[in-house]
Amino acid sequence: MPRTREADAIERAFAHAWIVHDLIPDEEREARMHAFRQWWGSFEIDAFKHALQEGNEADRLVALFALGYLAYEETQALLVPFLASSVRKERWASAMVLGAHQDERAFALLGQLLTDHLEPFSPAAEENKVRNMVFQAERRAKELYGTPTAWERFVHPGLVQIWGEMEGYRDEYTWYLRHRQTITNVLGAWNDPRAIPMLRQALQTCWDIEPRTRGSLQLLHQLEDQLAHTLGQLEAWHALEGLETAGLPPSRFKLARMFLTFGALGVNLLHLQNVYQGNIKLAIAVGTIDAEEVTEVLRERFGLDEYLARANLNVFQQWYQERDELWQWQRRLERGEVEGLSWPRQPFRGEWTAPQEGEKLEEITPTSPGEQPRSEGPVIRKLS
């Protein structure tokens, strides 16, 4: 049975309300959708209206996206007041759905949200130590029970609580970072030159915070690429002039120039990032990118001679992969420098935190009522 527009819109609303990871597991998405429908009775427009007016924050957020995607003309008046909501995510959701329909009341706010609290990701100072302990517990759980998800059995409940708080902070940061990409798409679709300084400032802010950001940079890099790509869509040929890349490799500016060029030529950014993973030769071979068009733009718009224009195109894949954390991790895995369980990025073996002087560590034996470990081994210690 073919999927309906309504079903797609509802799933999209839940995805945008809960967006943190690339893919929400099917069972988790279905559980959330089932809980909403069970409480509000259905996925009809009236149910979403009811949730928007009387639901908790989580349900209101889903309802904002759903009404914007399902019944914008009918519910526009309900969505507009949330532009001034005291709940930050509701302001963002309202601006995104109104902006997707090019409601002028959302335009200026969207530009502000691009850089709103766009700061370096700064987890708690002890995150590396906690992460190392969780990682070792996951590894031990996999050895004993066949799955890393049983790691909580090996550590003190206080560590579980601390890790949960860290994960909460990371998820909040990720939600806003991913939706900055949504906003960038919305502004690009508006095709309004007023968006150029907004996008340009956001790119500069990304470059400013990148050297001071701890942890994974993958999403920040995706945002940077999308900002440059969208500037290209708007044919903002001079948008990169005057931007500072202090603390970053010289190739970062050249990557942005390439993505700006790809945007101007209508190259599909998601295909380049997700399908080809920066493999420019493959993208050229299958016809996604026309090498002659790219070199012509680099020559005519940026003043590169024929040799430099072709060299920039040929070296793009190297620049992209050297920046890409997954590619680097795969090379390290091949060399035995990291563990197979260590993606997303974990410290090298040499970085694993040993107990510091003055810390008291207490041994904890695995506990699992009715279940025995498959093998014997050292216990994981807790920080007391």
What are the tens digits of pLDDT across the range 88-114? 999 999 999 999 999 999 999 999 999
Of 123, 47, 51, 120, give the one whose Cα is nearest residue 90: 51
DSSP secondary structure letter of residue 342: -
Count Cβ atoms within 10 A of the Cβ of residue 259 and give its class: 0-12 exposed, 13-18 middle, 19 or more buried.
buried
Cβ neighbors of 36 (< 8 A, separation 6 or more) are 14, 43, 51, 59, 62
Query: Tokens 């809960």 label which residue?
Result: 18
Cα gap 47→123, rounded to integer Å: 38
Q: What is the pLDDT of residue 125?
A: 65
Q: What is the pLDDT of residue 109?
A: 97
Q: Which residue ranges make up each domain of the chain?
A: 1-101, 122-384
Q: What is the pLDDT of residue 270?
A: 86
Q: Two tokens at 267? A: 């190259």
What are the tens digits of pLDDT across the range 244-295? 998 888 889 999 999 999 999 999 988 888 778 778 888 899 988 999 999 9
Cα gap 362→127, rounded to integer Å: 20
Cα gap 47→49, rounded to integer Å: 5
Q: What is the pLDDT of residue 331?
A: 63
Q: Which amino acid is at 157?
A: P
Listing DSSP states for 176-235 in one string gives HHHHHHHHHHHHHHHT-TTHHHHHHHHHHHHHHHGGG--S--HHHHHHHHHHHHHHHHTT
Q: What is the pLDDT of residue 375?
A: 40
Q: What is the pLDDT of residue 372?
A: 40
DSSP secondary structure letter of residue 381: E
Strands 380-383 and 361-364: antiparallel
Biggest CA pair distance of the chain: 72
Q: What is the pLDDT of residue 158?
A: 87
Strand partners for 363: 381
Q: Which amino acid is at 372?
A: Q
Q: Two tokens at 202? A: 């956001």
Of 241, 217, 218, 216, give the one whose Cα is nearest residue 228: 241
DSSP secondary structure letter of residue 272: I
At 173, which helix (H) or strand (E)? helix 157-190
**Average pLDDT for runs of 10 along the chain of length 384:** 80 88 71 93 95 96 96 94 97 97 96 94 75 87 86 87 85 93 97 98 96 85 96 97 90 94 94 82 90 96 95 90 69 66 43 34 35 39 34
Beta strands in the chain (DSSP E): 361-364, 380-383
Strand partners for 362: 382
Q: What is the pLDDT of residue 2?
A: 58
Q: Which residues of 155-171 are buried (b: 16+ CB within 10 A; e: fewer)?
A: bbeebeebbeebeeebe
Q: What is the pLDDT of residue 144?
A: 87
Under 8 Å between Cβ of 111 and 196: no
Cβ neighbors of 324 (< 8 A, separation 6 or more) are 218, 221, 277, 278
Task: Give 151-157 contacts, CB < 8 A, sequence gap 24+.
Answer: 153/366, 153/367, 153/368, 154/364, 154/366, 154/379, 154/380, 155/364, 155/380, 155/382, 156/362, 156/364, 156/382, 156/383, 156/384
Neighbours of 267 (CB within 10 A): 20
Under 8 Å between Cβ of 345 and 135: no
Q: What is the pLDDT of residue 257?
A: 97
Q: Two tokens at 276? A: 């080809």
Neighbours of 90 (CB within 10 A): 21
Query: Tokens 């997303």 label which residue?
Result: 344
Q: Which amino acid is at 370?
A: G
Cα gap 362→161, rounded to integer Å: 17
Cα gap 99→183, rounded to integer Å: 8
Q: What is the pLDDT of residue 132?
A: 85
Q: Two tokens at 40? A: 């509000």
Cα gap 276→375, rounded to integer Å: 42
